[in-house]
Amino acid sequence: MMTSRGMSLRAVYFHSSPYTSIEAKQKVIDLAKKLDGFAPGLVLYVVPFTELQESMIEHCEVKYLTILMRRYMMRIAEKIAYQCRSGALITGESLGQVASQTVESIGATNAVCTLPVLRPLIGMDKLQIIEIAKDIGTFETSILPYEDCCTLFSPKHPQTKPKIENVEAQEAKIVDMAQGLIIKAVSEAEIIEF
């Protein structure tokens, strides 16, 4: 949708080896190959995310894991965006589809970004998104049953209406180690060009 408005794309995928499989990574590479037909010159960054996740799991309350992971993903994606001279971040969020896509969670995620965050699917329901995926040929690949780093570490009862001060209090528990882990994740990202 954004390429139809003239945007070139860089894609960022967070991989949590050994918790996520090589098949999960290959699924994302295959999806990126398909998207390259719509976004020629697409570059995929495969970011190692395991150490940051383990740090969150060890030190933070479980109910905040989803929002914490998303905030750190956005920080990392933004660092990559600045390196590439990108002008915005784009996500595939659809309001209310999952716990991390409530207005409150989206607000808590946005709070860590300085670049604009574009969400072209925000008002669509799951069926509309599936139809688009079928139209562009990504649906069959996207439903392959490989878990991603968020699914694996999703709490049973995630915080769906997080208050920023509570989220920041959780982040304060890992702030000293997190900055170094963010830099490491960005510097160790595998870059795949199509």
* Structural tokens at position 149: 């780093």
Is the backbone peptide bond immediately before 120 cis, with ω within 30 degrees of 0?
Answer: no
Domain ranges of the chain: 3-193
What Rg, from alpha-carbon coordinates, does the chain have?
16
Averaged over 41-58, what is the pLDDT? Answer: 95
pLDDT at 182 over 70: yes
- pLDDT score, position 149: 61
- What percent of the chain has a predicted confidence (pLDDT) above 90? 77
Chain segment 107-148, per-residue pLDDT in tens: 999 999 999 999 999 999 999 999 999 999 999 999 998 776
148 or 8: which carries more pLDDT confidence? 8
pLDDT at 150 over 70: no
In the three-class reduction of DSSP (H, G, I as helix; E, B as strand; rest coil), residue 190 is classed as strand
**How far apart, in whole angstroms, are the C-alpha atoms of residue 31 and residue 138?**
6
Q: Which amino acid is at 37?
A: G
pLDDT at 31 over 80: yes
pLDDT at 155 over 80: no
- pLDDT score, position 145: 84
- pLDDT score, position 113: 97
* Structural tokens at position 160: 């769906």
pTM of the complete model beyond 0.75: yes
Helix ranges (DSSP H) in the chain: 22-36, 50-59, 65-83, 103-110, 126-136, 139-142, 149-152, 164-172, 175-187
CB atoms within 10 A of CB 15: 20
Q: Does domain 3-193 have CATH number 3.50.50.60?
A: no
| Chain Cα centroid distance, residue 54 | 17
| Chain Cα centroid distance, residue 25 | 14
